[in-house]
Homo-oligomer: A and B are copies of this chain.
Amino acid sequence: MPLRLDELAVRFGCELQGDPDVLVERVATLQDATPGSLAFLANPRYRRYLATTRASAVVLDASAAAACPVSALVARNPYATYARIAQLLYPSAAFSAGRHPSAVVEAGAVVDPSAWIGPQAFVAAGASVGPGAFVGPGSVLLTGVRLGQEARLVARVTLCEGVRVGRRCLLHPGVVIGADGFGQAPEAGQYVKVPQVGSVTIGDDVEVGANTTIDRGAIDDTVIGDGVKIDNQVQIGHNCRIGAHTVIAGCAGIAGSTSVGRRCMIGGQAGIAGHLEIADDVVITGNSTVTGSIRQPGMYSSALPVEQTRQFRRNAARFHKLDELARRVRRLEGAVGEQGDDDE
């Protein structure tokens, strides 16, 4: 359904520049837009495409407005405004209430009449599915699961015993919530399994990407706060606590019993060791390794960026003698009477 630009301006508090009667009915990138499209400009990298865009309208900020050759919605936060308009243009697919004939819903499961249980899904006795929730094809809800109102399991999501998922959560295919944490007690060169008797509690408005895993707690629950956004293939160990509105990019791993604060940003492939505390508002850049608690907000890194392999190997060889190199420098300082601040 096409949307009028003036109505969008009012609804999202933007300044309208240009023709209020413009209709947009889909989104497009600046460079590929055609009439009827809404584009946006948020990343300066793409500003070069603005002058020649064929979009019917562009969402952008005040600094770019003068350069826009077509109608515009001038917003403080163009990306968020674009996101909200795109949500209007592309609403989640509607679904009927009820259950597919191939689904298995055990007696003793409590499924709200407004929820949908999809093809080949399984809902065990003792699980409950809230109003308007969507259980996609092939999903598995074991006993004691509580799936919140309007939560959506796209397909093939597994929720293990007792897992609670809040309202409006969105879990993508292959997600596994509540598998056993990795509790293995060493004894005489072998391991004794430590029963994992906690579960997982996920707040409201959480998104979890494809094939991500969040383990159940050893004793207490693993806890994911409201509004946390987790990308694909992230691993969160048992008894982690992730503060509200933290984002975690793909392939990051957080070992057991670590607490991450609120509004943190964990980069892709970052690894955080277990039993740590990460403060609020911490940013960890991609592929970094965190082995100690971080008490102060700020941005932290440890992943060297690539260089040509030949040169890298020379440098890496020197790294392996870096302690020695520092000692040599200290000796030199002694020899020439310089005062280094080596603290060894």
Contact = CB atoms under 8 A, between A and B. Distances in A.
Count this chain's copies in the assembly.
3
Contact of A298 (B87, B308, B342): B308
A67 interface: no
A182 B229 contact: yes
A80 B155 contact: no
Most buried by B among A43, A118, A302: A302
A233 interface: yes
Contacts of A190: 227, 245
Given A290-B306, A315-B320, A315-B323, A332 B331 contact: no
Given A160-B154, A180-B172, A329-B325, A288 B271 contact: no
Contacts of A19: none
Nearest to A121: B120
23 contacts: A77-B185, A83-B185, A120-B120, A136-B140, A172-B180, A174-B179, A174-B211, A179-B210, A182-B231, A182-B232, A182-B250, A184-B207, A189-B263, A211-B211, A235-B251, A235-B268, A250-B255, A289-B304, A290-B305, A299-B308, A311-B320, A315-B319, A335-B337
Interface of A: 26-29, 32, 43, 45, 77, 79-80, 82-84, 86-87, 89-90, 100, 102, 104, 118-120, 122, 136-138, 140, 142, 154-156, 158, 160, 170, 172-174, 176, 179-180, 182-187, 189-195, 197, 207, 209-211, 213, 215, 219-220, 227, 229, 231-233, 235, 237, 245, 247, 249-251, 253, 255, 263, 268-269, 271, 273, 275, 283-292, 294, 298-326, 328-329, 331-333, 335-338, 340-342
